[in-house]
Amino acid sequence: GEDVEQSLFLSVREGDSSVINCTYTDSSSTYLYWYKQEPGAGLQLLTYIFSNMDMKQDQRLTVLLNKKDKHLSLRIADTQTGDSAIYFCAESLTDSWGKLQFGAGTQVVVTP
Amino acid sequence: DVKVTQSSRYLVKRTGEKVFLECVQDMDHENMFWYRQDPGLGLRLIYFSYDVKMKEKGDIPEGYSVSREKKERFSLILESASTNQTSMYLCASSPTGTGYGNYGYTFGSGTRLTVV
C-alpha cells in the first residue's frame, strides 16, 4: 500500500519550537493522529484531529491539517528535554473498519 | 485506567523455539493488532483481529500465527523462532468502526524479543 511519510530525524534546542511534518495518503481519512513513543515504551496517543478541522491546539501542541495537500504537522512550543521521543503520525483508512496506517516515525532529540 | 498489557517486557529465546507473546486488554475492544517495530522501518502490521476467533494477515505475516479465543486476549505465535525475528513487538487494541476520535489505538508497552 501507499506510505504515510515523515522525516526520520529532528534536532531542536530546548525552549525552541519543534515542527514535525507528515504527508498522508487517504484524502477521505476521518481522523489523523499523533503518537509519542518514549525510549523502551509503547506508543501513547498524543493528540488527534478530525478531518473537518484545519487546526487544533492543546496546551503546547498545535496540529495543522492541510487537506488539499494531505499534509499534517505537529508543533511543540517551548520544547523540553522530556519531549525527546519518536513521534508517529497515523491516518484512519476509510476502506477499513478502523485500521490505522502509521508513518515510520520522527526521532526528536532536544539539546540543552 | 484502561490498559493493554503485554506479558513480558524482555524475552530471550533460542532459534527454533516456539514462542508465545501474550496481550490482554480490559477495554472490551473488538479490534486487536500485533506490530513489530524495527529501527528505520517504523511499525509493520503482522496480524489483526476484529472479533473473537477472527484473524486477518497484515503486511508481514510470514513466520507468525495468532490466536484469539477470548475477546480480551490476542496471542502472537512464532512457530519456529529465527534470528531475523529479533525485534520489538507491540500489541494494540481499538473499538470498532471509524470515527472513534480520541480513542484511536491503545498500545501495550511492548515486548523486546531477542532470538539467539
Q: Give 10-residue mean pLDDT values along chain B (116 residues).
A: 87 97 93 91 90 91 96 97 97 74 79 97
Please report the pLDDT score of residue A1 as a whole number: 44
Paired sense of beta strands A9-13 and A106-111, if any: parallel
Please report the pLDDT score of residue B70 as a whole number: 96
Q: Contact at 8 Å (CB) between B67 and B49?
A: no
C-alpha to C-alpha distances, A23 to A40, A52, A76, B64, nearest whole angstrom: 26, 17, 18, 31
CB contact under 8 A, B106 and A8: no
Instruction: List pLDDT tens digits, range B78-106.
Output: 999 999 999 999 999 988 764 455 567 89
CB contact under 8 A, A42 and B110: yes
Using a CB-CB distance cutoff of 8 angstroms, which residues of chain B are in contact with residue A94?
98
Among the partner residues A33, A90, A92, nearest to B98 by beta-carbon distance: A92
* Residue A4 DSSP symbol: B
Among the partner residues B90, B95, B104, nearest to A33 by beta-carbon distance: B104
Instruction: List pLDDT tens digits, range A56-84.
Output: 999 999 999 999 999 999 999 999 999 99
Nearest chain A alpha carbon to B88: A40
Closest CA to A31 of A49, A5, A47: A49
Q: Which of A99, A101, A107 to mutate to test the interface with B (most CBs of B within 10 A)?
A: A99
Among the partner residues A35, A42, A92, nearest to B108 by beta-carbon distance: A42
